[in-house]
Structure 1
Amino acid sequence: MRTFGTYIVELLAANGVELVFGIPGVHTIELYRGLQNTGLQHITPRHEQGAGFMADGYARVSGKPGVCFIISGPGLTNIATAMGQAYCDSIPLLVISSVIPVGAIGSGAGHLHELPDQRQLMRQVSAFSHTVLDMSEFELALARAFAIFGSARPRPVHIEIPLNLLGCDSTSLGIARRLNLPAAPGVGTKSAAAAAELLRNAARPVIVAGGGARRASAAISRLAEALDAPVLMTVNGRGILASGHTLAVSVYPACAPAIELLRNSDVILAIGTEMGPTDFKDKLVDRTSFPAKLIRIDLDPEQAMRGMSPDLAIVADATEAAEQIGALIAPSVEGGSGRARAAAARAEMAALVTRKEKAGLSLLSALRDGAENTIIVGDSNQPVYAGCRSFGTDEPGMFFCSAIGYGTLGYALPAAIGAKVAASERPVVCVIGDGGLQFTLAEMATATEIGCPIIMIVWSNNGYGEIKTQMENAGVDPIGVDIFTPDFQKIAQAFDWHGEKLADPGALSARLAAARVRSKSSLIEIIEDSYV
């Protein structure tokens, strides 16, 4: 007999899933019965929130959906925060959970792990939540999930399996097969021509590239060069143009130089960005202050009409759209104003950088430049805030963080582990505050257990320094922000990491070089006051 739980993992493997993150529980045992025979790797985090963050980091770097096996009840409430972060950043996560048996769902009888309505909870942080009431439904639910991941706006999906189905005989379902999935929507000849005409006639075009355009880097670069158009990159879009490119503007879109660049343009081409308040705050609400024509390219037709109303909306894959529009535009003549406008925006931003931000940018630059292809994963802390404002990378996905969007703490460590699993040959560094680290500290054990060496920079100010500053600026006595800070060197030793405290900022490069050649993870604690 082949159980339904075994069929589920066989179907995942048949559709390209290579690993799952999960903590086995009494309600998910049947999902593990056939796991070894499929060749799927399993990674056990120390908390379901860590599982979600690891799957998030894995998905961002690999381009494949992160998959989690989660128990009903507390497993889902624990992973909900990670799903919220992935939902805001459009990251594909597949969360497969158990649920109490059919007939008992919603009974309130007091079953183990019972919630009144798991799906209602999960709907708030997912593209959809589906309860499989018949074994034949699972393939269709999985196909729907993968269709969203590959041809729509990717977001978490939750599929729950009642306990009384997981152990049933699934022989009647046949052999697990690869699914036939739809392609992303096409641009359309008329839409491409209309966009190209607006851009050809523009004297001062600007491209705004967001996280949804990460895979379109080469096409956007060619289009920008043909138009001589500066490319303003959101935080999730950094690296779409390399930081050294003359048209690259790695500036937080709500900052004055970025807003001025947009205000003085005559056509804005926005690709894969919400044009929303996380990136732009309230700066784009009034279209009367932005005379430019706006073209928006997005996989989500609803999102294309949110944030800032477009003159032309195109629902399409970012790469295909940029390529088709670019094919209709002849390269610009040398000496256009685009490079000068990009340089001016960069210079204006550099003049606004504070002393504390310079320290943070110096740290991030040392991490980026110390070794090729380094991936930097950030939490909410001062260096990462500085990076969000004006840090550039050489390719997409080399710097991502939780400081925007949902804005959770504790993200960087487990997400960095997921990133390292996806790209074991690349150096991975996480930058996290001493307060944020204590949210997911236990995941240091996961890195050691799976032999996943990363470098962790702990930016230490003995508490929640940013919130303390905000309270003081608001005239509120700081309460609850000065917290006990443990000895991170001893903790590192306990988890079989190398741990050290950096007293001399000038020694950072040497410490990083030593950490990169170690076979185990390294923790380097930097005291904020000594570095700023």
Structure 2
Amino acid sequence: MPDTVTRPLGAQISHMLKARGVDVVFGIPGVHNQEMYRGIEEAGITHVLARHEQGAGFMADGYARASGRPGVAYVITGPGLCNVMTPMGQAYSDSVPVLVISSCLDETAAQRGQLHQMKDQEIAASTVTDWSHTARSTQAAYALVDRALHEFATARPRSKHIQVTIAQLQALAPPASAPMAGAGQTGALKADLSGLIDQIKAAQKPLFIFGGGAAHASAAARSVVAALSAASFVSYAGRGIIAPDEPLFFGASLARPDSAGIIGKADLVIAVGTELAEVDLWRAHLGHTAPMIRVDIDPEVLSDRQRAEIPVHLDAALFLAALADGLADHTASTGWDASEVAKARAHWRSEVDAERPGIVPVCDALRAALPDDTMIYSDMTQLAYVAKEVWDMEQPRHWHHPYGFGTLGYATPAAIGGAIARQGKPTLAIIGDYGFHYTVQELGVAVELGLSLPIILWDNGKLGEIEDSMVRAQIAPNAVIARNPDFCKLAEAFGANAVQPQTIEEFQKAVRAAFDADAPTLIHATPALTA
């Protein structure tokens, strides 16, 4: 039976979200958004109470990355919206479907001194989201929710913000209409790609670069590179798209300076679902001298400074599926040498080990200790920086990192959101000592929910990466050391488990045990770990 009950709009929004597949909302209630909480339980939505709006936003992000569904957060006017702006910026940067719904004051221009007042919070939120709009009527609120969910499904998914005036949240409203029919597949295939496929077939040394936008097309990507005997790189966000044992796979090494020379040897470069951004390359130009085919769902990417000769505005999965079909009877010979690929990868691994000594063995040990299908959330910490380059993933979308915006404090709350979405599947957080301070309070949420979540705290006692950067720049390394608490006692005060392994073997044992615990486990690891 259709829902015909009249309720306050705040309650109706929860019912609308539930009807459109939203099962979990992260947030914090306040006097300005309490009407949004009126309908949560009645609608059958699980609410996760964060300890800070930043935590709520990161949990929504982690939930979205793990589930493939939108992550939704409810926050209050003013400070609540400001606190969630960092997670919104991270979700925007990393193409994560996060929807933040906040309350807002009914009037700001003609009245001053109100609780939680901002001059213009819609504009403030718009600086870190795809869009931010105000709903001043019931139909506007419903239309904006549907627009956000539709765009998540059909365009590049990026954070969005809807704010609803307090008076409107309180006003009685009819229920939203039934959900729209299926959104369909992103970027429908309309163009004839036969000429493009022939050009790819004719290449003697084709080179593919896969980014996070191709993560949902891993099977087709693997089929294509095998059929063409093509070499390939992945961006950090694209790790797992290509199998680690693929002999012509250069790994996630685009940021190695001499990768430009290797890319320059290709006679055709095909970049699929990747921004080729600063955080992918750390140089202005990819290094190619051959023509580039650039495939992306975002037209802005197709017109960037890499200036692809052949831009293709298309979803990666559709492009790769069409290409795989076109290669069904293709027999390729390759100009790439597998031994040279292996040599380059070994060289880059040794470079990474030399740049941040002692961390590669820790990554290797951690990888060996993890159960199959573990999903990892990492923070801005040296352990993660090393792992991104030397740790090949077996499958995509299983390592999540705050790549573009680069915020500290992401991993713990994001992993909580991921663990909620994964319902018992192994989930792990990696965070540095300084970043842990940013969102340590969310450990209480993990305890409250009884999550079997290992949190690896990599403690080098300083902002180690910043210290190294300052030294390279011949700047005295000021303000890089802060007094840390006893992290194990702090975790135990929240009700979590805590352990401080002294050896690699103890470290591995602690990680394995944490997945079977009935509460989160803080694993305090330092560079002093010995074999």
Q: TM-score, normalised by structure 2?
A: 0.94
Aligned match for 2:88, one of 83, 92, 100: 83
8 A contact 1:214–1:396 mirrored in 2:
yes
What is the match of residue 401 of structure 1? 401
Aligned match for 2:118, one of 85, 110, 115: 115
What is the match of residue 275 of structure 1? 276
- Structure 1 stretch 177-186 or stretch 87-96: which is displaced more? 177-186
User: 1:297-322: per-residue Cα shift (whole Å, max 9, x none)?
Assistant: 11111221114111111111111110
What is the match of residue 443 of structure 1? 442
In structure 1, C-alpha distance between the alignment counterparts of 2:468 and 2:119, rounded to whole Å? 40
1:392 counterpart letter in structure 2: D
User: 1:102-134: per-residue Cα shift (whole Å, max 9, x none)?
Assistant: xx1333512111111111111111111110011
Is 1:70 paired with 2:81? no
Q: Post-superposition shift, 1:509?
A: 1.7
Query: Judging changes above 3 Å, is the alpha-carbon distance between structure 1 residues 369 and 530 closer, same or farther for their aligned structure 2 residues?
Result: closer
In structure 1, C-alpha distance between the alignment counterparts of 2:372 and 2:495, rounded to whole Å? 26
What is the match of residue 359 of structure 1? 358
In structure 1, C-alpha distance between the alignment counterparts of 2:300 and 2:388, rounded to whole Å? 26
Q: Post-superposition shift, 1:355?
A: 4.0
Q: Post-superposition shift, 1:367?
A: 3.0
Aligned match for 1:187, one of 186, 189, 195: 189
In structure 2, C-alpha distance between the alignment counterparts of 1:251 and 1:293, rounded to whole Å? 22
1:281-430 matches, within 5 Å, as 281-284=282-285, 290-330=288-328, 333=331, 336-338=334-336, 340=338, 342-355=341-354, 357=356, 359-370=358-369, 371-402=371-402, 404-430=403-429
In structure 1, C-alpha distance between the alignment counterparts of 2:81 and 2:337, rounded to whole Å? 49
What is the match of residue 474 of structure 2? 475
Q: RMSD of aligned C-alpha atoms?
A: 1.9
In structure 1, C-alpha distance between the alignment counterparts of 2:121 and 2:92, rounded to whole Å? 17
8 A contact 1:106–1:115 mirrored in 2:
no
- Structure 1 stretch 453-462 or stretch 289-298: which is displaced more? 289-298
In structure 2, C-alpha distance between the alignment counterparts of 1:420 and 1:397, rounded to whole Å? 14
Q: Post-superposition shift, 1:283?
A: 4.1
8 A contact 1:367–1:429 mirrored in 2:
no
8 A contact 1:106–1:117 mirrored in 2:
no
8 A contact 1:92–1:154 mirrored in 2:
yes
User: 1:68-123: per-residue Cα shift (whole Å, max 9, x none)?
Assistant: 0011100111011111111111111000000001xx13335121111111111111
- Structure 1 stretch 24-33 or stretch 322-331: which is displaced more? 322-331
8 A contact 2:447–2:496 mirrored in 1:
yes
In structure 2, C-alpha distance between the alignment counterparts of 1:357 and 1:174, rounded to whole Å? 55
1:143-162 matches, within 5 Å, as 143-162=146-165
Aligned match for 1:35, one of 26, 33, 40: 40
Query: Judging changes above 3 Å, is the alpha-carbon distance between structure 1 residues 41 and 385 closer, same or farther for their aligned structure 2 residues?
Result: same
Q: Post-superposition shift, 1:23?
A: 0.5
Q: Post-superposition shift, 1:514?
A: 1.9
Q: Post-superposition shift, 1:476?
A: 1.7
2:7 counterpart letter in structure 1: R
8 A contact 2:467–2:480 mirrored in 1:
yes
What is the match of residue 101 of structure 2? 96
Q: Post-superposition shift, 1:363?
A: 2.6
Q: Post-superposition shift, 1:253?
A: 1.0
Aligned match for 2:55, one of 27, 50, 56: 50
Q: TM-score, normalised by structure 1?
A: 0.94
8 A contact 1:225–1:332 mirrored in 2:
no
For residue 485 of structure 1, give the secondary structure of its aligned residue in structure 2.
coil
Q: Post-superposition shift, 1:257?
A: 4.5
8 A contact 2:205–2:231 mirrored in 1:
no
In structure 2, C-alpha distance between the alignment counterparts of 1:189 and 1:327, rounded to whole Å? 15
User: 1:329-370: per-residue Cα shift (whole Å, max 9, x none)?
Assistant: 245547634461543432332342324646333333333332
Is 1:15 paired with 2:16? no
Is 1:490 paired with 2:489? yes
What is the match of residue 525 of structure 1? 524
For residue 438 of structure 2, give the secondary structure of its aligned residue in structure 1.
coil
Gapped regions of structure 1 (runs ≥ 5): none
For residue 136 of structure 1, give the secondary structure of its aligned residue in structure 2.
helix
Identity of aligned residues (%): 34
8 A contact 1:143–1:181 mirrored in 2:
no
For residue 132 of structure 2, give the secondary structure of its aligned residue in structure 1.
strand
In structure 1, C-alpha distance between the alignment counterparts of 2:263 and 2:344, rounded to whole Å? 10
User: 1:393-417: per-residue Cα shift (whole Å, max 9, x none)?
Assistant: 1001221212x31111011111111
In structure 1, C-alpha distance between the alignment counterparts of 2:397 and 2:278, rounded to whole Å? 22
Q: Post-superposition shift, 1:507?
A: 2.1
Gapped regions of structure 2 (runs ≥ 5): 1-5
For residue 188 of structure 2, give the secondary structure of its aligned residue in structure 1.
coil
